[in-house]
Amino acid sequence: MSISERDFNAVAAASPKKRDAPFSLRLSFEEKSTLTKMAAGEPLGAYIKAVLFDEARTGVPRKSNGSANGQAVGRALGDLGKSRLSQNLNQLAKAVNMGALPVTPETESEIQDACRAVKDMRDALIRALKEGGQP
């Protein structure tokens, strides 16, 4: 064994100890619902630890966007996912760069429609974030 191998083995053996595996707990829907109500918006993990170990609870609720805001963001993200716009625009760009796609008025119109759809979704997300008071 060469010196470098011994040095490597010494460094490898002295590596920091790994963290313990996370603990998980299975609850019924009713149990989780009850626990969520008891936590009153506080993250469940923090609430459970505070109750089990008799720690002072911070009472800091999770950040929450209003339900209307969440629905608007959800609609916009759902539209984006259903549209496959990113894949389609990428395919168009690749074909144009290879010279395989002649740019006809129809092609130009479709590209403009796709760009408008992306802009509409972007605007919807920005409106939803502004309504929630986020920057």
Most confident of 2-11, 22-31, 74-83, 104-113: 22-31
**For residue range 18-67, what is the model confidence (pLDDT) as tens digits?**
777 788 889 899 999 999 999 888 888 888 888 888 876 655 555 554 56
- Confidence grade of residue 134 (pLDDT, cut at 50, 70, 90): very low
pLDDT recorded at residue 133? 46
Task: Annotate 66-121 with three-state secondary structure.
Answer: CHHHHHHHHHHHHHHHHHCHHHHHHHHHHHHHHCCCCCCHHHHHHHHHHHHHHHHH
| In the chain, % of residues over pLDDT 90 | 6
